[in-house]
Chains A and B, each alone.
Chain A
């Protein structure tokens, strides 16, 4: 690595670290005091509360990275401008790319890091935090939903609902299985106390079958019944989580499967695009920061740069959210709604760069 690159990056990461520390700090404080009443009211253990916030830190930091990148490029370049170092570099015949390029590349690296860290660490820890909140702090029975407490699963021709599913023993408790025809008429309903994975297929224990044929209902109790369900325990790993909590590649597979079954997959496709698009926010804000920084003279002006930068950031983030909600409600095509703000602001950043004194 060139000495100059190292020097510029040192400035960048110094400011980046402090900005992230400040942002993360205030965010945790706000979050903490918002929830303090709940924590005290429910008499939660202090350790649980601490763990809860520790789990949330990565997700909070991931939200702060784009803004920290903006500040790091603006202030980092601003300091170099103020110390007349940029002037010296220009006098030595270097173009803007030589001293501002490393910052843009650092932002690009952060995009990859943010995305990967968010998918691996952030998402699972966030889930842990939510579970901990439900179990240890709220101490309430989990409501119906996708949670392991109340599993719902559907395939082409049946719906399955169970009170609990234990992934370790592969046992459902309190199961209802509904077989429907294409008109959504109930053909058969099976309720059983347990549904057990036996080697290669499912077996229901202690239950009843309610069948409806030709206008007559038949009720029949059973002790054991082998079930031919097109369902493998590994499918349930996906069914147990809310789609928002799935890793990107799993969600992609899930979305394809849903699409193949003829369901509307727009919300999931928006989610898939949004995860990538928000990671790119770091690059775009970094580019805007660098371009504004190049416009700053050596006579200060950092404050003006930051004011402009924050204004642009605000517009960008709001537009990103609005684009996503338009995509969700199918006013715009998914890719267009999600990526339009990115395209627009990348263009603004590039235009600022081109017009900057090189």
Chain B
């Protein structure tokens, strides 16, 4: 009896030492296993989402005033918004794929038979989920408003490149509100057109139609942005709405000056939309207007990053709960959980907007629900 105690203590110590060593090894192993699929998933999703938007940006590429660099800048500015969606998905998929693999290779069984419970794998899962949450948090609070503002002005300057949109042959162009242009033949290099028909419905009382043999299109950007159509040898006809008054004017040369600021709104933005405000600005706007939507946006900025945490934590049990041959079910269910999270969020958002629930409740509810799902799944996987 007397001899037994020290030997027991020694045994205890050696087990503890072994566990500490093994714990650290296991932790690193699990981390790396999740990190690879998570980063692949993140990059893959970003790539898919960006190429989806590439189409709309590339149409400006051939405009004279737009360079490839401009396109790259616009794409980079669109990244923070897209990253906010890609990060939770990456957190979820990285973890679920890692655990599906561990379970498929019987490594989970090996660990359990070595006396490691499922709960002891939590630190590794938590570390990755927290790291992604931190990145997401920084993106949401800092990068997003700035990038959205920059993106807005960058896109505006791109969309003001009206001339390339106008220089199309044989089709009715309605880029500018309340006007339709038709050019029979277009020489894009010299910005000249032959066979011009312009329908001007800016004044609802008269229908003005200008036809001309040829025209030169120029952009004037000093002072206020203008597009000038210098037309030659044509006619202008007006017809009143009552079809009783009419006018025909023939001309040798006629300059139609279109102010882009008047047509497309001025390039100088005085007020930002909610997605372009910082947290402090949202609070100020809320205090001034008492508009619920500012409160909802403020909470969304803080709550959305936690999607990485709750979804990442819920993903691990999905990887191990399903037996051989039904592993894909775990992956499918985790994607379904991702969709359910956002479905709940939009429901909470709508309820908050209708003032049926407090703004904070509506926005934080999906996090709470997913967290409780994650907890019950962990308990279930631990007892398995």
Contacts and interface: CB of A to CB of B under 8 A. Distances in A.
Contacts of B146: none
Given A37-B274, A144-B178, A264-B186, A176 B207 contact: yes
Contacts of A33: 85, 342, 346
Contacts of B201: 144
Given A40-B350, A184-B195, A152 B47 contact: no
B44 interface: yes
Contacts of B275: 37
Contact of A186 (B93, B248, B338): B248
Given A189-B239, A210-B237, A303-B37, A317 B51 contact: yes
A17 to B, nearest CB: 8
A325 B61 contact: yes
Contacts of B44: 67, 306, 310
B59 interface: yes
Interface in B43-62: 43-45, 47-49, 51-52, 54-55, 58-59, 61-62
B6 to A, nearest CB: 46
A180 B211 contact: yes
Given A144-B180, A321-B51, A325-B58, 12 more contacts: A22-B89, A27-B49, A32-B342, A46-B350, A145-B172, A146-B172, A154-B172, A176-B209, A192-B243, A210-B237, A263-B184, A310-B43
Contact of A30 (B36, B55, B85): B85
B82 interface: yes
Given A145-B174, A183-B213, A310-B44, A25 B335 contact: yes
User: What 8 A-B pairs have minimum CB-CB distances, sorted nearest first?
Assistant: A263-B170, A264-B169, A329-B62, A217-B248, A152-B172, A317-B51, A145-B174, A184-B195
Interface of A: 14, 18, 21-23, 25-27, 29-30, 32-33, 36-37, 40, 46, 63-64, 67, 143-146, 152, 154, 159, 161, 176, 178, 180, 183-186, 189, 191-193, 206-208, 210, 212, 215, 217, 219, 221, 243, 258, 261, 263-265, 267, 303, 306-307, 310, 313-314, 317-318, 321-322, 324-326, 328-331
Interface string B203-226: 000010101110000000000000
Contacts of A30: 49, 82, 85
Given A18-B328, A185-B234, A207 B54 contact: no
A161 B198 CA distance: 12
A154 B195 CA distance: 13
B282 to A, nearest CB: 14
